[in-house]
Amino acid sequence: MSYMQRYKNWILSDHFDEETKKELQEIQEDEKEIEDRFYKDLEFGTGGMRGKIGAGTNRMNKYMVHKATQGLANYIVNYIDQGKKKGVALGFDSRHCSPEFAMEAALVLAGNGIKTYLFEELCPVPMLSFAVRELGAATGIVITASHNPPEYNGYKVYGEDGGQIVPEKAHKVMAEIEEVDDFSLIDRLEPEEAEKEGLLNYVGEEIRSRYREEVKNVIPDKDMAADKGKDFDILFTPLHGTGYKPVMNVLEELGFNVEVVADQAEPDPDFSTVESPNPENISAFELALKEAEDKKPAIIIGTDPDCDRLGVMVRNRVGEYEALSGNEAGVLMLDYLLSRQEVPDKGVMIKTIVTTELAREIARAHGVETIDVLTGFKYIGEKIKEFEETGDREFIFGFEESYGYLAGTYARDKDAVLAAALFSVMALYYNQQGSSVLERLTELREQYGYYSEALESIYMEGREGQQKIQTFLNRMREEEPREIAGWQVIRFSDYKKGETIDYSSDSREQIDLPESDVLQYYLAEDSIITIRPSGTEPKLKIYFSVRESSAQASAEKMQEFKDSVLSMIKGILSEV
């Protein structure tokens, strides 16, 4: 069926409401917009779907939520033993339509006879991950688009273990969704009927309280925090998202004196005070930095809308605030955990393939194994489940460069509530030693080397952009270059083929990881490039890593490295 036929069907069908039809009628003269909205269904990837809110098959709306949920319901019935009885936990963030989409998902599940547990109020992603296991649910759903712009929303699916569904299961869910081709045949109950039949249940403070206790159980030096935390000032911004209550509650229960950026405390689906609600960007801390001029907190912390990412800024010796990267915060928390608690004999640290190699060096120094996984915290969660089943390893800490961290096994996704608490206690600990996290970071670099990492993205909008990205990746994959922008390739890993080529020995070996559209080049002089398409946005992502003996040398090398590689990539993209 053509995009224009789909468009006309939505306008003419009795199944779609008048508000939807009106929105579509307003674009009847804009064929390019019609094409973009209807040339495909909004893709349900390995963790769910994400897109702009609006009418159409390639948009986030209640009808596409109905379709995805009907497919998920079919998966639960067909593949999960006692799935209907175990039910589904549902949470949502502060975005436009998030509560409505969560309720619609619950009502479709109820229409299929599946019990649901719907959070009564905003729910951080890690809290939903915890709730799935705590409630013994078959799956979980979170309505969120993380830190995407305000016009976006999304739908993330979790497995019985509380982790985002991994590709094997996701493909089965996708297959079930693709079978749903008639919106009018989707089963759905009204709220009153769903509640009456015991299929719509609400999650309240009990689960939230249990979650907070599990978070605190992971933290070292709690006695110190209880005694000294009140004199250690913290400024916190939830960036209008779900983090306000859980982060404030946990930090205050630990004993800290926490101030919140008032103008960013309340939920706001437009994220009206920031250009982007992403704590990876320093611009998100603009209001916090203004307040810090008077309050002078020791640290500033910020969480993204679904509270699974944490950004931090630290006051240095001269009173200025320095932002830490996800890699820097991660290695500091790893080092602190390994130094301040007993390390299990089978202890393991997990990182993604694009996360700093400095973490491996720190773990090795403590006798801890490092395991690399593909980009995406679901793969860290999958390993935690594997360790619990086999008993041959014990998870200590996992993190990714994109500001996601987890310690402990109470949840199976990155947790900014935990990270906020862990970083705060760590910062207090070094403060009590007459030092700081910044000074500790310098010590680690002097000991293991000055690693620098960077991420650059090239946006390629629309169908044509996606085709260009794929053509570029295919070309690089086929050519297997021995040189990248003048840098000699020592080793090349193609995670789609599942193969690594070692050019120094002219040998090939299999990669024991799931298939993924990722190319990684290990170059001369301890440099690495990793290239992959974004799974959630129309862009090509390029990760850079270098290592040198000093901060200046590392920064200079990184700049030269990025400039030359980006010039090469953009040149190829202009040709394809």
* Strand ranges for 255-315 from DSSP E: 257-260, 299-303, 310-315
Q: State how far the Cα of 246 lies from the Cα of 417, in Å rounded to an integer.
A: 7
142 bridge partner residues: 91, 156
Contacts of 381 by beta carbon, 8 Å cutoff, 6+ apart:
129, 161, 162, 163, 164, 412, 413
146 given a catalytic annotation: yes
Query: In the block, which residue shows the tokens 């704590």?
Result: 279
What is the distance between the alpha carbons of residues 300 and 258, in angstroms, rounded to a whole number?
10
Question: Helix (H, G, I), strand (E, B), or coil: what is residue 252?
Answer: helix
The DSSP output letter for 6 is H
**Helical H segments across 304-415, by residue range:** 326-340, 358-365, 377-390
* Measured distance between the N- and C-terminal CA atoms of the chain, rounded to whole angstroms: 29
- Which strands sit side by side in the sheet containing 394-400, from one edge to the other? 369-373, 347-352, 394-400, 404-407
Q: Which one, of 457, 528, 532, 464, lies nearest residue 496 by Cα?
A: 532
- Pseudo-torsion of CA 240, 20, 40, 170, nearest 10°? 50
Asked whether 150 and 172 are in contact (CB, 8 A), the reply is: no
143: tokens are 């309505």
Sheet with 48-52, side-by-side order of all strands: 48-52, 152-158, 139-143, 88-92, 116-119, 200-203
- Residue 29 corresponds to which tokens in the numbers above? 């003269």
| Cα(65)–Cα(102) distance, integer angstroms | 9
Which CA distances in Å does 489 have to 166, 208, 499, 504?
A: 31, 50, 15, 9
The kind and range of the H/E element at 447 are helix 437-448
CA 394 to chain centre: 23
Could you tell me which residues come within 8 angstroms of residue 58 by beta carbon, excluding any fewer than 6 positions away? Answer: 36, 37, 38, 39, 40, 41, 42, 51
Instruction: Identify whether the C-beta of residue 106 lies closer than 8 Å to the C-beta of residue 194.
Output: yes
Q: Which of 146, 436, 527, 545 is catalytic?
A: 146
Distance of CA 241 to the CA centre of its chain: 15
Contact call for residues 410 and 130 (beta carbons, < 8 A): yes
Q: List active site positions.
A: 146
